[in-house]
């Protein structure tokens, strides 16, 4: 019997990765002292969850969206409002907002996904801006830009208060581990292969009996749901926020996280989220040069590393090890 092939091997090493990530979360959560560091990692984790959704949509299925901030916003507002006004328990609120964002995504995906490449990019961009305008203008619901959402109650599970930064670190860490496990399972499945195939050739994929539209819609829905989940966690962690968070800037950043990380591996989304979240804080000292430096770095990555910074590093590593292995 032929041993289960390289595919099983790849899946196993991805599972190892999840285990390592879980260990890293536990160690990090119990040893990191500075709350600033915890905070940055929490934000990275939250964005990584949304970026994983973007990875499914863009990295795997090849469908671009520059409007993910809309779903992030729906998740954030839904959970903040559910917690403040309806007093719904946080876990339920998070689950409900995720479902709501996913449902919204499903609703808009059918018309949007009739478009491809640049048209899809522009249409999702326009969609994102429209949602941003609505977030900012529907003040009775969202508080607009000022005052926004003032105080979302802290996160808790079954009465245990988990609102401290350290507790939220574990909450976000657990959500992230869970999300990447789900995405990895997807990648290594019939469904994931179908999505990768339609990125390569829609015509050929359809010709193999795969309902391309249905799969694209599902990928879009999943991406919207994960953006909503991230938004909900964001609302609980940040407590006070306003509509300016959900501008096009966030949509572009989520896309960048995938591009900077890797378009071919979900691990890239984690790396990209960390990179895109942390980099600006390093540039803080450069004051007005910040955005310029940021732009230069992004541009260089996009020009020279179209598969992502993460992928390029991995490829380089592989090439080096191969060279040493076969002299």
Partner 1 sequence: MTQLLQTLLSGLTTGAIYGLIALGFTIVFNATKVTNFANGDFVMMGGVVCAGLVTLAHWPLLLAVPATIVGVTALGAALDVFGIQRARRKTVLSLAMITIGFSVLYRGLMQVLVGRDVMFAPSFGIIPDIRTAELYVGSQSLWILLALGLISGGLSYLFLKTRLGKAMRAASQSPRAAALCGIDPRLMSIASFAMAAAVGAIAGALIAPIGAAFYDYGLVFGLKGFAAAVLGGFGSPVGAVVGGLLLGLMESISAGYLASAYKDAVALAILLGLLLVWPSGLFGRVEARRV
Partner 2 sequence: MTLVVQSFAKRYGGLVAVDGVSLTLAPAEVTAIIGPNGAGKTTLINLMSGVILPDGGSMQLFGADVAGATPHVLAEHGLTRTYQSPQLFAEMSVLETVMVGAHLSGRAGFLSAMLRLGAIRREEDELEARARAALSRVGLPDDLLDRNTTDLAYGHQRRVEIARALATGPKVILLDEPAAGLNPKETHEIADLISDLAREGYAVGLVEHDMDMVMGISQHVVVMNFGRKIADGTVDEIQSDPAVIEAYLGTSEGEAAHACVA
Work out which of 174, 196, 238, 293 binds partner 2, going by CB under 8 A: 196
Residue 114 interacts with which of partner 1, partner 2, none, CB < 5 to 8 Å by class: partner 1
- The yes or no reply on residue 36 touching partner 1 (CB under 8 A) is no
How far is residue 176 from each of residues 11, 138, 217, 233, measured CA to CA in Å?
Answer: 18, 31, 23, 11
Segment near partner 1 (CB under 8 A), from 2-10, 156-164, 180-188, 291-299? 291-299
**What DSSP state is assigned to residue 287?**
G
With binding defined as CB under 8 A, does residue 186 bind partner 2? yes
Q: Does 158 bind partner 1 (CB under 8 A)?
A: no
106 binds, among partner 1, partner 2, none (CB under 5 to 8 A by kind): none
Tell the burial category of 146 from Cβ atoms under 10 Å away from its Cβ (0-12, 13-18, 19+).
Answer: exposed
Taking each helix axis from N to C terminus, what angle separates 165-187 and 266-283, rounded to the nearest 10 degrees? 140
Question: Residue 272 CB: number of other CB atoms within 10 A?
Answer: 30
* 63 secondary structure, DSSP code: -
8 Å CB contact between 262 and 315: no
Residue 99 touches partner 2, criterion: CB under 8 A: no
Closer to partner 1 at the Cβ: 84 or 312?
312
One of 191, 278, 305, 313 touching partner 2 (CB under 8 A): 191
Residues of span 264-293 touching partner 2 by CB under 8 A: 264
Stretch that binds partner 1, among 43-51, 74-82, 247-255, 267-275 (CB under 8 A): 247-255
Residue 103, binding choice from partner 1, partner 2, none, Cβ under 5 to 8 Å by partner class: none
- Is residue 204 involved in binding partner 2 (CB under 8 A)? yes
Q: Which does 264 bind (CB under 5 to 8 A by kind): partner 1, partner 2, none?
A: partner 2
3-state SS assignment for residue 157: strand
Measured CA angle at 270 (ends 266, 274), to 5 deg: 155
Least spacing, CB of residue 58 vs partner 1, in Å: 9
203: contact with partner 1 by CB under 8 A:
yes
Residue 13 interacts, among partner 1, partner 2, none and using kind-specific CB cut-offs from 5 to 8 Å, with none
Q: Which of residues 81-120 bind partner 1 (CB under 8 A)?
A: 111-112, 114-115, 117-119
Contacting range for partner 2; rule: CB under 8 A; set: 199-207, 227-235, 286-294, 314-322? 199-207
When CB distances are held under 5 to 8 angstroms depending on the partner's kind, the choice from partner 1, partner 2, none that residue 200 binds is partner 2
The string of DSSP codes covering 168-180 is: HHHHHHHHHHHHH
Cβ neighbours, 10 Å, residue 276: 25
Residue 278 CA to residue 271 CA, distance in Å, equals 11
* Residue 205 touching partner 2 (CB under 8 A): yes
Q: How far apart are CA 278 and CA 37, in angstroms?
A: 10
The residue within the footprint of partner 2, chosen from 39, 84, 156, 185 (CB under 8 A), is: 185
Q: Which residues are within 8 A (CB) of 111 and not within 5 positions of it... i.e. 6 or more apart?
A: none
Binder of residue 278, out of partner 1, partner 2, none (CB less than 5 to 8 A by kind): none
Q: Report the 3 state secondary structure along 190-216.
A: HHHHHHHHHHHCHHHHHCCCCCHHHHH
Rounded to whole angstroms, the Cα distance separating 138 from 141 reads 6
Residues that bind partner 2 (CB under 8 A): 2, 4-7, 182-183, 185-186, 188-194, 196-197, 199-201, 203-212, 218, 222, 264
């Amino acid at each position: 019997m032929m041993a289960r092939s390289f595919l099983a091997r790849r899946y196993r090493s991805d599972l190892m990765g999840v285990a390592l990530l879980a260990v890293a979360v536990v160690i990090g959560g119990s040893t990191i002292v500075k709350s600033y560091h915890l905070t940055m990692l929490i934000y990275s984790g939250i964005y990584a969850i949304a970026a994983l959704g973007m990875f499914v949509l863009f990295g795997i299925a090849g469908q671009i969206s520059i409007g993910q901030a809309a779903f992030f916003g729906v998740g954030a507002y839904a959970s903040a409002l559910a917690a403040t006004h309806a007093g719904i328990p946080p876990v339920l609120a998070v689950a409900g907002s995720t479902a709501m964002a996913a449902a919204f995504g499903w609703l808009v995906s059918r018309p949007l996904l009739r478009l491809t490449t640049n048209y899809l990019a522009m249409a999702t961009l326009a969609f994102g801006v429209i949602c941003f305008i609505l977030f900012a203008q529907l003040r009775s619901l969202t508080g607009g830009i000022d005052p926004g959402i003032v105080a979302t109650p802290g996160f808790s599970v079954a009465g245990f208060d988990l609102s401290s930064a350290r507790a939220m670190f574990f909450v976000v860490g657990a959500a992230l581990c869970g999300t990447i496990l789900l995405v990895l399972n997807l990648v290594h499945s019939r469904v994931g292969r179908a999505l990768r195939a339609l990125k390569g050739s829609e015509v050929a994929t359809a010709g193999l009996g795969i309902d391309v539209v249905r799969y694209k819609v599902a990928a879009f829905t999943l991406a919207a749901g994960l953006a909503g989940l991230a938004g909900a966690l964001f609302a609980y962690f940040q407590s006070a926020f306003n509509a300016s968070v959900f501008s096009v800037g966030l949509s572009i950043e989520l896309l960048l996280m995938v591009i900077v990380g890797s378009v071919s591996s979900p691990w890239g989304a984690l790396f990209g989220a960390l990179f895109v979240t942390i980099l600006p804080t390093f540039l803080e000292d450069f004051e007005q040069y910040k955005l310029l430096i940021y732009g230069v770095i992004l541009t260089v990555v996009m020009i020279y590393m179209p598969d992502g910074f993460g992928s390029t590093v991995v490829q380089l590593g592989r090439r080096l090890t191969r060279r040493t292995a076969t002299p």
